[in-house]
């Protein structure tokens, strides 16, 4: 199938795609905060090295989407920086990325995933709900643009 979505794990050569894809949507709806710039330009010390992961969606050798998980503590990760190229939206790439990052978090041994977003991003909020995220009270002062916090229990993947 020519438009099959392939999931790729992070490699330093993909950093420009992580930055490009995320800057587009953030600048479209909000403004880049200093922490956004730092994380997007230097994801390894902020996401990868502390125990997180970044994955990418590719179609026909073109990287068209990305999402990351940032380790919060030994049990919890934050899903962050999900972006899909506007030219490829509506093809379920966000869903595929979401399912892949949830599975990645489970395999890494995390039991809970949280995310911070904004209700202005209606399609994203609908996607998160469809994936199983539930709204919880917003943690004050976390991000300027955040007005909704969601979480999901990942379940125990240990074999008994």
pLDDT tens digits along 96-107: 999 999 999 999
Q: Which pLDDT value is given to residue 20?
A: 98
Residue 158 domain-assigned (yes or no): no
Q: What is the CATH number of the domain that holds 89?
A: 3.40.630.30
Q: What token pair was written down for 70?
A: 């940032």
Q: How many helices (H) and strands (E) does the chain have?
A: 5, 7
Q: What is the H or E stretch that residue 23 is in?
A: helix 15-29
Question: Within a domain: residue 122?
Answer: yes
The pLDDT value given to residue 145: 84
Residue 89 located in a structural domain = yes
Domain containing 124: what range?
Answer: 6-153
Tens-digit pLDDT profile for residues 23-44: 999 999 999 989 999 999 999 9
Cα–Cα nearest to 81, from 70, 89, 92 = 70
The answer to whether position 141 is within a domain reads yes
Question: Domain for residue 123, yes or no?
Answer: yes
Q: With respect to residue 86, please indicate whether it lies within any of the assigned structural domains.
A: yes
On whether the CB atoms of residues 136 and 117 are closer than 8 A, the answer is no
Residue 30 lies in a domain: yes
At residue 2 the predicted structure's pLDDT band, cuts being 50, 70 and 90, is low
The Cα–Cα gap between 9 and 7 comes to 7
Report the Cα 80 to chain-centroid distance in Å: 4
- Total domains in the chain come to 1
pTM for the whole thing? 0.92
Q: Give tens-digit pLDDT for 39-91.
A: 999 999 999 999 999 999 999 999 999 999 999 999 999 999 999 999 999 99
Tokens of 110: 């995390």
In a domain, 160, yes or no: no
Q: Quick check: 16 pLDDT over 50?
A: yes
> What are the tokens at 105?
């978090």
């Amino acid at each position: 199938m020519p438009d099959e979505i392939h999931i790729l794990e992070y490699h330093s050569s993909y950093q420009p795609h992580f930055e490009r894809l995320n800057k587009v949507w953030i600048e479209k709806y909000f403004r880049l905060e200093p922490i956004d710039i730092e994380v997007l330009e230097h994801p390894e010390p902020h996401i990868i090295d502390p125990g997180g992961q970044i994955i990418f969606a590719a179609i026909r050798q073109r990287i068209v989407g990305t999402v990351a998980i940032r380790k919060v503590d030994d049990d919890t990760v934050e899903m962050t920086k999900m972006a899909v190229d506007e030219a490829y939206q509506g093809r379920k790439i966000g869903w595929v990325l979401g399912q892949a990052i949830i599975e990645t978090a489970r395999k890494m041994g995390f039991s809970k995933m949280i995310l911070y977003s904004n209700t202005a991003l209606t399609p994203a909020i609908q996607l998160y709900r469809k994936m199983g995220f539930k709204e919880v009270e917003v943690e004050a002062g976390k991000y300027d643009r955040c007005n909704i916090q969601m979480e999901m229990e990942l379940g125990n993947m240990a074999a008994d």
